[in-house]
């Protein structure tokens, strides 16, 4: 079997994701200014992009570029951690449901269905309101509303795997349920899981931005892209760049992880 080299989707998506990781890790070195303090006297009258401040300054005199760079931290931490938690829960639930069937499947899938009937953002808003916004609570809430889609796909994949000959053979040899799931089913659904992981990262990023936009994100002064868009609403007509750049950052990150996901998907289909 010939393995395909990285396709262009993976390369572009990977480059974007990597750039975000670098920005997040080295924000203090890269950012030209303190993201929370005023660096220009543009109070109430945001400054346009200039040589000194390429993305302008906001109504509190803060450098938008520095805030964008630091904002990558929150977005990545929340996006990736929430994805990891959601994948873990989703894969576990989907695997068990698909593999065991019967009551296990019934219970797990009905829970999944109920969660899916509720709009994710609405559910997340309710949870955040109860838990009070903080990095940890945002992350947990986003995971909580994001695992269901994964569970359904993994269950479907597991169902088709569980009746394949190689699994039946292993079962006939007396392999335990755990061994069957981990050694035989998991490796075969891994490509799907990886695709789901990349795609759901863009989902969690968007959900985080959405919550921040609604004022339920990580509390100030920590810069976050969603809150930056929200805070610039007042200046939408007079200082559109305030909303444009964080919007662009969200687009960039979501696009990156989506490209990566579709790249993985194409690899799987061309294998």
Q: How far apart are the first and last CA of the chain?
A: 8
Q: Are 47 and 86 in contact (CB under 8 A)?
A: no
β-bridge mates for residue 63, sequence order: 57
**Distance separating alpha carbons of residues 94 and 98, to the nearest angstrom:** 6
237 counts as binding other proteins under rule CB under 8 A: yes
CB of 243 to other proteins, least distance (A): 11
CB of 127 to other proteins, least distance (A): 17
Q: Which stretch binds other proteins (CB under 8 A): 13-21, 39-47, 164-172, 252-260?
A: 39-47
Among 163, 165, 238, 269, the residue binding other proteins under the rule CB under 8 A is: 238
Three-state secondary structure call for residue 4: coil
DSSP 20-78: HHHHHHTHHHH-SS-SSS--S--BTSPBPP-SSSTT-B-TBS-BHHHHHHHHHHHHHHH
44 counts as binding other proteins under rule CB under 8 A: yes
Sign of CA dihedral 113, 117, 119, 123: negative
89 counts as binding other proteins under rule CB under 8 A: no
Q: Are 153 and 86 in contact (CB under 8 A)?
A: no
Q: Which alpha helices (DSSP H) does the chain contain, by range?
A: 8-25, 27-30, 64-100, 102-117, 120-131, 135-162, 165-172, 177-179, 186-213, 225-231, 241-270
244 counts as binding other proteins under rule CB under 8 A: no
CB of 126 to other proteins, least distance (A): 15
For other proteins, the closer of residues 67 and 184 by Cβ is 67
Q: Which stretch binds other proteins (CB under 8 A): 3-11, 15-23, 32-40, 157-165?
A: 32-40
Q: Which stretch binds other proteins (CB under 8 A): 37-45, 84-92, 94-102, 254-262?
A: 37-45
Among 233, 251, 270, 271, the residue binding other proteins under the rule CB under 8 A is: 233
Going residue by residue from 208 to 227, which x/- string records binding to other proteins, judged by CB under 8 A?
Answer: -------x---xxx------
Task: Enumerate binding residues for other proteins (CB under 8 A).
Answer: 36-38, 43-45, 59-60, 215, 219-221, 230-231, 233-239
């Amino acid at each position: 079997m010939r393995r395909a080299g990285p396709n262009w989707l993976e390369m572009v998506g990977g480059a974007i994701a990597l750039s975000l990781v670098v920005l997040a890790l080295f924000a203090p070195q890269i950012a030209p200014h303190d993201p929370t303090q005023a660096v220009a006297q543009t109070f109430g009258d945001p400054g346009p992009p200039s040589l000194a401040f390429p993305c302008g300054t906001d109504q509190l005199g803060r450098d938008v570029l520095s805030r964008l760079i630091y904002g990558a931290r929150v977005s990545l931490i929340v996006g990736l951690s929430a994805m990891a938690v959601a994948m873990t829960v989703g894969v576990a639930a989907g695997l068990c449901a698909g593999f065991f069937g019967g009551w296990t499947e019934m219970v797990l899938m009905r829970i999944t269905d109920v969660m899916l009937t509720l709009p994710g953002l609405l559910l997340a808003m309710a949870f955040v309101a109860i838990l009070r916004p903080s990095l940890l609570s945002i992350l947990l809430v986003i995971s909580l509303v994001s695992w269901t889609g994964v569970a359904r796909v993994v269950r479907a994949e597991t169902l088709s795997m569980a009746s394949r000959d190689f699994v039946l053979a292993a079962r006939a040899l007396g392999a335990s349920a755990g061994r069957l799931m981990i050694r035989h089913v998991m490796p075969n659904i891994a490509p799907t899981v990886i695709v789901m992981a990349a795609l759901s990262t863009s989902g969690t990023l968007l959900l985080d931005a959405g919550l921040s936009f609604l004022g339920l994100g990580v509390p100030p002064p920590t810069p976050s892209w969603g809150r930056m868009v929200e805070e610039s609403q007042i200046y939408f007509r007079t200082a559109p760049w305030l909303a444009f750049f964080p919007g662009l950052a969200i687009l960039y990150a979501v696009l990156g992880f989506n490209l990566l996901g579709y790249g993985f998907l194409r690899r799987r289909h061309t294998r």
